[in-house]
Amino acid sequence: MAEDSWFDEDAGPLVRPFALTRGRTRPGRYDLDMITLVVAIGSHREPGREPEYARILAACQRPVSVAEVSATVDLPLVVVKVLLSDLIERGELLFRSPPRTVSPQTDRVVLQAVLDGVRNL
């Protein structure tokens, strides 16, 4: 597989994920949380795309959390955040941060919605 050439075979299992990020451990300027939702804008089948980016885009064809992407592509969260940031930077991915606390009133409305949703499980 092409991605095998990205790392030294002798490197430990945790070196490999960071080889994918070219050593980067911080997700650039995007503050991605594990429940930040992401969705791919275009197709993941574009020719010539690096395999890890293609796998990530394939995992985000509908809105999913960063944690789900990490589970699907089987890479640690920290690595997935770096790769997702690259895709956001290139305009290939939309994302939505979790809502911040706005006021007790809106919080109450949101919490009630969650309560109703759970009751209907």
Partner 1 sequence: MASATSEGPLLGQSALKVLVAGGFGVGKTTMVGAVSEIPPLRTEELLTEAGAGIDDITGLDRKTTTTVALDFGRITVNPELVLYLFGTPGQERFWFMWDELAAGALGAVVLADTRRLDSCFPAVDFFEHRGIPFVLAVNCFDGSPRYPVDEVREALDIDGPVPIVHCDVRAKDSSKEVLVTLLEHLVQRAEVGVLA
3-37 residues labelled b (16+ CB within 10 A) or e (exposed): eeeeeeeeeeeeebbbbbbeebeebeebebeeebb
**Contact flag: residue 85 with partner 1 (CB under 8 A):** no
Q: Which stretch binds partner 1 (CB under 8 A): 2-10, 47-55, 110-118?
A: 110-118
Which pair of structure tokens corresponds to residue 101? 């606390």
**Contact flag: residue 89 with partner 1 (CB under 8 A):** no
* Binding flags for partner 1, 40-59, as an x/- string (CB under 8 A): --------------------
**Contact flag: residue 67 with partner 1 (CB under 8 A):** yes
How far apart, in whole angstroms, are the C-alpha atoms of residue 63 and residue 55?
15
Which pair of structure tokens corresponds to residue 64? 């999913």
Closer to partner 1 at the Cβ: 35 or 42? 35
Contact residues: partner 1, CB under 8 A: 14, 25, 30-31, 33-37, 39, 63, 65, 67-68, 70-72, 76-78, 94-101, 104, 107-108, 110-119, 121
